[in-house]
Amino acid sequence: MAQGRILAKKDIETVFRRLSEAMPGRTKTAKGPKDQPDPFRSVVSCILSAQSRDTNTKAATDNLFALATTPDAILALDDEAVAKAIKPCGLYNNKTKSLKKLCTALIEEYDRTVPQTREGLMSLPGVGRKCADIVMSFTFGADVIAVDTHVHRVSNRIGLTDAKTADQTAAQLEENAPAWAFHDGHFWLIQFGKAICVSRKPKCETCPVNDLCRYYTATGAA
Ligand code: SF4
């Protein structure tokens, strides 16, 4: 890790402070996997979300839960029925296999209860750090900055992190971000990444953190 590219802690705190002032954060209308108080549904939805748009993931999850709502009930379905139900989210044959492995592990190793720790969640088949953090944040209410593509891009442009993968970014944010930013950090960064630090043409001239941003200060313009 090129530590020199990561901003000083006081500058990282300033970035989060300004983002907190500029972005709405974790509001009732904030985008995210809402209405998923059921941890099992939340984990299933997360597995189905790989390379899928939110609307397609929701359609697939709704279809599946119209057929079965527990690990035992999903295992009782034949693979074709599961694949047909989750077809909207794509990669449905592989995801069917992953879902069945998940259900088996929950039954055999966790007495049908979704674990509430990152380590426990990541021990489940098909659940990586992003998925675990999303379930922890959105379903269990943990103060965790889940990292998606927007959070990854923005964090590394600014210099909150210096990471190649989203998982590395998540680990570095946990290390570098101030504790008070953990509750809303995911939302500030994702909203900022959609509104200002967009993928192709970031709006650097009007950006509230351009004086600190590593990308901008290195190039003069993004
Ligand atoms: S200055 Fe540009 S690249 Fe840097 S955070 Fe702002 S919009 Fe993104």
Domain harbouring 170, CATH code: 1.10.1670.10
pLDDT, tens only, 68-89: 999 999 999 999 999 999 999 9
213 is in an annotated binding site: yes
Residue 150 has pLDDT above 60, yes or no: yes
Same domain, 63 and 131: yes
How many structural domains compose the chain? 2
Domain boundary at 92, 119, 138, which? 138
pLDDT at 27: 75
Task: Give catalytic status of residue 78 as yes or no.
Answer: no
Domain boundary at 121, 138, 155, which? 138
* Closest to 61 (Cα-Cα) out of 30, 32, 40: 40
Query: Containing domain of residue 112, as a range?
Result: 39-138
Q: What is the largest CA-CA distance in the chain?
A: 59
pLDDT band, very low/low/confident/very high, at 33 (cuts 50, 70, 90):
low
pLDDT, tens only, 159-173: 999 999 999 999 999
pLDDT, tens only, 175-201: 999 999 999 999 999 999 999 999 999
Please work out whether the CB of residue 197 comes within 6 Å of at least one atom of ligand 1: yes
pLDDT at 2: 46
Q: What is the mean pLDDT of residues 134-145?
A: 90
Q: Please provide the distance, in angstroms rounded to a whole number, between the alpha carbons at the two ends of the chain.
A: 22
207 is in an annotated binding site: yes
